[in-house]
Structure 1
């Protein structure tokens, strides 16, 4: 599970309009981007649990703040640090979604935006559940966010790090959860959705921390992310406790034609696919997301990591990105983390 140090929660409304003015020039030059078309990581700091979505010429980025939901809008991911975040929601002072706002994700389904986030009841971790907001505006930094309430996942157990996938027209939801109400190891579960805010059972466990590299600190599988490619869909997840420097990415794979809400549809890679890496300026890389450049020529991995050993699960984590390729078997090849001192070619089209 995750542990954060946060400020007091600000009391505002359940459904609200953006409290800031939209940034009309979100990508002015910054010093981390040079004149030869290259940039250096990190792209944003602090920025634990980074998430990116692309639509209509803009990237929209979110990350954990702990006490609100903010969206960055930019046409250039390498200049993300120049974008001013827009606060689109703050939690109530009390209630089931009042504290510890973790790992928000922004998804567009049939022209409507949805934010999925984890929250608990006044700081009681055992009450963590997933919640949904909806916005019909074309630009998610504008318009009105309507509270759809708790995403009532099957069995109603502890849940964090939820993500949405749409495969062959079917909506799936994957998340990290406990088997019972007593804590312990975190597993990856999946279920089907009938619409973006309505789940249907059963809850199916598709991965548990059973390998040594998944149990550093204690057994953790969390932060699953769908990555479709050709006839396969990959579920990339983070393993081991984020408080260790051994945090790393694991991989499940399935055929896109399969019923993904079935445990036997998935095959687990026996070794990490990114990390564990504890050297130089990268420690504990994980909690990833992906984007493809608008020209469809490049695939990019976005993730967080610490710059020094022992910095744990807090706000030392910065967002970084680097391109990745595909192996001959169709699985992703993420390589190794890029050192913060190294320049990287900017994404195609920037």
Structure 2
């Protein structure tokens, strides 16, 4: 084992960080609270196990993800993400660290949000609307698998949020309120990293360094490593540590909006993906409050000596700006594609 690796270095091995592991079904809730609080104060990342989603079903979700990404590019581009950010995102479409990347992320993805019929009044709101789905003729049963996984991942997210609430001395049901996770923005994203090699020294990454936008993120991965975290985003140079995959478990991290709610008591953590030339599949699930929710410092996280660091902001305003900052428009994508 070697020391953590600075930002500009690219050795064959880096330090594999140790993360706390929290069992959702552990009857000792105080143990879970202690482990989760320590994780949120230390790195903002932790493992979650015993979550109630069977390995058989997880295998099916990954199988169906591979089936989609194996389609010809023209078929996938027929489902190019719409203005509600639903559908396919091609390789290089997203640039999460524009200051350090010379090109977009070496990954393709597929966004699936909460299904809202087009004739529903809520469909006019930011981030709400119908999903785009591959044809049943092409991928039979695909939609049903993804909708079931979306439902299960949201259930697990709410269970984790209960423990987070308790770590903040809040009522366990604090995040169950409609404006929080009762009626959340919940986005499933399938990701496929092609078999290319990252080169941080040249600004080439599988996924550029970023913190996640919302409250919490659940990440399921295959057994190919690549995720790295930087526990101190203000450090110069940044120090990166590997996070090992965990079969049957989730890698969970907190996002920017939870950082704002807690007035930096819990910090969202920079992370990136550095590829070693192997294909890699992962499935993150992002959870954020309702678009109308005003995110502001919790009273318990502010004091006279530690006043609120962030002004109140609606979830929609914050999320929309982050998406604009990190995604190409359709015209820009096609222009870039022609230059390749």
Given the two structures, how large is their TM-score scaled by the length of structure 1?
0.29
Q: Give the structure with the higher percent strand.
A: 1
Q: Give the structure with the higher percent helix.
A: 2
Given the two structures, how large is their TM-score scaled by the length of structure 2?
0.30
